[in-house]
């Protein structure tokens, strides 16, 4: 993980738990998406949905330990790869100093009017590279 990353603390809600008191496996992808908001703002500072310009091309997640109800979760987010029209976001969830999950999301810079990907501008690439650790 690079030295420069985004982080957000999430307080698990009771309705996000299963019968064992663990956070349901469908919840962490939602938390990871919420933690990507600072990256969305690089592409669309106002977060105006009528001007949205990103689309998810892929998402993988590995659960390494149960995430539990009743204790805050820290989600760390950084950029792991920058390409011509796409980039990869790496994320981890941490609870009580232990990593509970990690994910990678491939996002594409996308023109919805043309229904196709577009090249990431040099200005945006430079902003993304700040969060790669390079």
Q: Where are the domains of the chain?
A: 6-129
Mean pLDDT along residues 11-20: 93
Q: What is the DSSP string of 31-94?
A: HHHHHTHHHHHHH-TT--GGG--EEEEEEEEEE-S--BTTS-EEEEEEEEEE-SSEEEEEEEEE
Q: What pLDDT, in 10s, does the model give residues 47-105?
A: 999 999 999 999 999 999 999 999 999 999 999 999 999 999 999 999 999 999 999 99
CB atoms within 10 A of CB 52: 13
Distance CA 92, CA 73 (A): 10
User: What is the fold of 6-129?
Assistant: Thiol Ester Dehydrase; Chain A (3.10.129)
Q: In the prediction, which pLDDT does 134 show?
A: 58
Mean pLDDT along residues 113-117: 96
**Full-model pTM:** 0.93
Q: In the prediction, which pLDDT does 73 show?
A: 98
The yes-or-no verdict on residue 125 having pLDDT over 80 is: yes
The yes-or-no verdict on residue 2 having pLDDT over 70 is: no
């Amino acid at each position: 993980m690079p030295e420069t990353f985004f982080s957000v603390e999430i307080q698990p809600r009771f309705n996000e738990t299963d019968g064992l008191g663990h956070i349901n496996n469908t919840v962490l992808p939602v938390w990871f998406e919420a933690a990507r908001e600072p990256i969305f703002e690089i592409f669309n500072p106002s977060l105006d949905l009528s001007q949205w310009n990103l689309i998810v091309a892929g998402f993988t997640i590995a659960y390494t330990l149960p995430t539990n109800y009743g204790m805050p979760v820290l989600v760390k987010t950084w950029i792991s790869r920058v390409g011509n029209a796409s980039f990869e976001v790496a994320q981890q969830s941490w609870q009580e100093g232990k990593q509970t999950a990690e994910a990678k999301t491939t996002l594409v810079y996308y023109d919805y009017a043309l229904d196709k990907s577009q090249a990431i501008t040099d200005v945006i690439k430079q902003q993304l590279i700040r969060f790669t650790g390079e």
